[in-house]
Every structure is written in structure tokens, then in C-alpha cells.
Structure 1
Amino acid sequence: APPAPPAVQLSGTDPRVRDLLKGLSSDADFARWLDSEDLARRFAASVNLIAEGQSPRMPLSFMAPAGAFRVTKRQGRTVGSAESHTRYDGVTRVIVSLDAKAVGQVYQELKPLLDAAHAELAPPGRSLEATLSQAIGRLTRVPIPKTSPELTAKGALYVYVDPELEALGAAEKHLLRMGPVNMRKVQAKLTELSAALGLPSQGQARQP
């Protein structure tokens, strides 16, 4: 029998990953994101978490917006402030700046590496494509609110008054906190990226 192919080594791959990724966007913040370590594992971890509806805050710590989430009163309702949404403008700008066609090409080049990183975390038998498809589907199906969703204080946190929104996973709530303008841009880009990656088409956001 032919010898088994050598296992893909993930350690020490950051320089190659950075070199391939740097051409995907000319945005300075994207270049800063690429300074992070263990990029393949970060990607796999974040996709797995989002696919499960969990927060990808840890592996995507470099994307965290500055400042704190703030609320305001509008017509007697407590809602997220406009400033809370604009904190995510930079993240949205970087995501929108990605060259989808180039992402598809780089994905194919890095696929063995990403598959190896994904296999460390994913449930047995689940492919990277399935995880990516599930993650993107979760985010593109989040309904874009027509008006700012009402919030209510619960201890030190704020929760959504609408039980449907409150029932969403942490990953979806991250997207909601970006505000409707950023949500539309990110969801449109995710749909474009999904097509570039050759993933099954995703359901679109419901317009309430």
C-alpha cells in the first residue's frame, strides 16, 4: 500500500497564510488583522463557533470595536445608540473591501491547511464546507430590523424585548449589534463570498 500522505503541519504557517491573504484587501485595518498569530486555527475556530451560534469573540479578538455598547431612549423605548452601531463601521468596511473572487482562489490554495485546522475542532465527519455554509447561513438569515430593537436591562446587561431576537445565538446578536446599515452590507458580502467559495446558496434575511 502507498504510504499515507504526511500530516499537514499548522505550526509555522502564518507567514505563508499572511502572504496569500494580504492581496485580498488594501484596507490598512485588514493588514493589522493579519498581524495576529495562528491564523488558520483562528479562522477554523471562529467559523465553528459561528456555525454553532456561539460568539467568535476569542479567536476574532482583533476585530473587537473600540468603546462600549451604549443605549439611548427613543420615543420612550430603550434602544442601542447610533454610536454603538458606528463602532462597527471599521469592521464592516474591511469585510466589504474583500475581493470575493480572490478569496475563492486563496481558499483553494489554503484548503489543506484550513481542513487540518478545522479537523482539530469540528464534530467528526463534518467538512469545512458544511461548517462554513452553516456559519454563513446563520448570519445571512438574521432578520434586519426596520426600527432599532427595543432593549431592557437584565442585571448588568441589556436583552432584547422581542423574544425572537433574544432567542438568537450569540453570533447572530453580534451581527444585530452592528446596526441595520452595517448588517445589510455584511450580509450582502457574505452572500457574495459564499458564492465565490462555491458553497450552497444561503437563505436571505427576512424583512420583518
Structure 2
Amino acid sequence: MSESSEKRTLGPHFLIIGVIIVVILALVFWPSKEDEPVAPEPEVVQPDVEAPVEEVPDVFETKPAPPPLELEEPDEVPPMPEPVEPDPEPLDVSDPAIKSSLVDISTATDDSVNRMIVNEGLLQRFVVSVTNLANDEMAPNHQLLAPPEQTFRVYSQAGKQWIDAASYKRYTPYVNMLESFESEALLGMYDIYKGDIQDKYAEIGESNKNFNEVVLDAIDQLLDTPEVPVPVEVYTDSVTYKYTDPRLENLNEPQKQLLRTGPDNMRRIKAKLREIKLLLEENGSN
């Protein structure tokens, strides 16, 4: 394929499943607990009691004082009303919140997370991309990651064309970023967003299907990618590069993309996918 076409269609989609748990992270903001309401003290109104005015006789008479008024004590003190807990604020699914969380949980010492992950529509892109991968397809208009800056390269030898090892190295920074996230922490954040993800999937997929099944199907597609020795022979039909080996060319698009990351990167990616798959399956059985 042409360099521009290859850069457009062979972006780092191989990492979409690797970061499926990552890109749905966001901070959850809980309001501070309000002070418990205090019932006002009952106001005691003392009645105005006046002795009746009488005409004073010529001879003073001593009148007995009226008995003091006493307030009647109630039999039972009414219970205090239960405090009403405020409802939690909705999840912040904004792109800045998601990326901020990614940076927080990454052990990377550079700016790779901010630099490699796109800035718009992360949650929507995630659902569309995983759904397409589970269906053996790519989602070129819903990339989660920025494409590599380096171009795809081949070299010629003995009248044939082979993938240059430099083409594999351009994906290594993405794999490093993937490995900077701890799998169990990612799954915990994924659980937070299950409801939002399921709602979005119902809009584009099967409303009665659990999105976890879609994720596992997508992971299995990539894990089934064969490992082949290098160098790998390719040819061009003046528009795109294709694998000379028909077994490789007949792989689905996500598998062919994973193959293009090179044998070392692919092994590292598969190891991370197996970790995530195991955690998802264990989580689903609980």
C-alpha cells in the first residue's frame, strides 16, 4: 500500500483491545456528605395569664395567688427525622477526565498517554472499535490512538520485497504504554463504566447481549493471530502492500494489523491480552 494509505489504514488498532479497559476510565466525583439536619427546638409559648381586675374595696382583702402553670410533658419524644443522603453525581465521561485518569494510573515516566491517545469521543470510539474487532473488521474512522509518526518501510532483496524491521519498531512505544497499566486496576475502572458502555453498545449492536462477550470475542480474534518468522515477504499491487503468503493475506484485518507489529511486540501484546481476558472471565463468574 502507499505510505499515506498505509499510515491511514494501519494505525495502531492492534492496541484497541489492549486498552479497552483503559480508555473507559474516568474520575468519579462524590459530593461531600451533608451535615445531618437538626430538628429545631420546640418554642414554648408561655400563655399570658392575668389575674382578673377587681375593684379594690375600701377594706383590703388578701387574695390567694393563682397556682403556677405547668407544661404537660408528652408521653413520647417524636423520633428525629432520618438524614437524607445526597444522590451521587453522575460519572464524568468527558474526554479530559478519562485522559486524566489514564495518566494517573500509568507508570510511564513520559507523556506517552496524552500524546498517543486521541482527544475526542473516547467512550464512543471504544464501543465502536471493539464491536468492529469482534466482527473481524477495522474501524478506521474510530481510532483510539494516534497513528505512528514513522512510515511503513520495506526493503528489496533477491528481487523480492520484505517488511523492514524499522516498521516493527514504530509500534514499540504503544506496547510500552500498554504495559504501563496494571491489569487489575484497569478492570476495576472498567466495572465503573459497565452501565454506560452497555447503553452505548445497545445503540449500535444487540441490545440483549452483554458487552463483556463482545470484548472477549475481540480479544480471541487477536489471540488467534499466528506467529510467523521474519522477514515477512510482501508485494505491492501499486495501491497497497499485501502478504505474499496467502495464509497471511487471508487473515482478517485486525489479525493482519497485529502481525505488522512484529514478532516481539505481538508476543508482548498477546501476554497482556491473556491477562485481561482471564480477569474478565473471573469477574464474570463472580
- Range into which the TM-score falls when normalised by the shorter chain: 0.7 to 0.9
Secondary structure of 1:178's partner? coil
Give the superposition deviation at 1:13: 3.5
Match of 1:137 in 2: 220
- 1:26 aligned onto 2:92: no
Tell me how large the CA RMSD over aligned residues is. 2.4
Match of 1:72 in 2: 155
* Runs of 5+ unmatched residues, structure 2: 1-89
- 1:81 aligned onto 2:149: no
Q: In 2, Cα distance between the equivalents of 1:32 and 1:131?
A: 28
Residue identity in the other structure for 1:107: Y
Match of 1:108 in 2: 191
Give the superposition deviation at 1:140: 1.0
Match of 1:55 in 2: 138
Kept in 1, the 8 Å contact 2:136–2:254? The answer is yes
The equivalent position to 1:190 in structure 2, one of 253, 273, 279, is: 273
Change (3 A) 1:63 1:194: farther
CA displacement 1:38-68 (0-9 Å, x = unmatched): 2211111111111112223322253311122
Q: In 2, Cα distance between the equivalents of 1:39 and 1:21?
A: 12
Q: In 1, Cα distance between the equivalents of 2:166 and 2:145?
A: 20
* Runs of 5+ unmatched residues, structure 1: 1-8, 201-208
Residue identity in the other structure for 2:257: H
Give the superposition deviation at 1:78: 1.7
Match of 2:176 in 1: 93
Give the superposition deviation at 1:117: 2.0
Higher helix share: 1
Kept in 1, the 8 Å contact 2:198–2:211? The answer is yes
Q: In 2, Cα distance between the equivalents of 1:80 and 1:142?
A: 18
Give the paired residue count: 192
CA displacement 1:90-124 (0-9 Å, x = unmatched): 11111122210101100101111111222222234
Residue identity in the other structure for 1:26: T
Secondary structure of 1:44's partner? helix
Give the superposition deviation at 1:77: 3.7
Kept in 2, the 8 Å contact 1:133–1:199? The answer is no
Which has the higher mean CA deviation after the structures are superposed, 65-74 or 160-169? 65-74
Residue identity (%): 28
1:33-48 superposed matches below 5 A: 33=116, 36-48=119-131
Which has the higher mean CA deviation after the structures are superposed, 144-153 or 59-68? 59-68
Residue identity in the other structure for 1:123: E
Q: In 2, Cα distance between the equivalents of 1:160 and 1:102?
A: 38
Structure whose CA Rg is larger:
2
Give the superposition deviation at 1:16: 4.4
Give the superposition deviation at 1:19: 4.7
1:119-134 superposed matches below 5 A: 119-134=202-217
Give the superposition deviation at 1:32: 3.2
Change (3 A) 1:22 1:116: farther
Secondary structure of 1:131's partner? helix
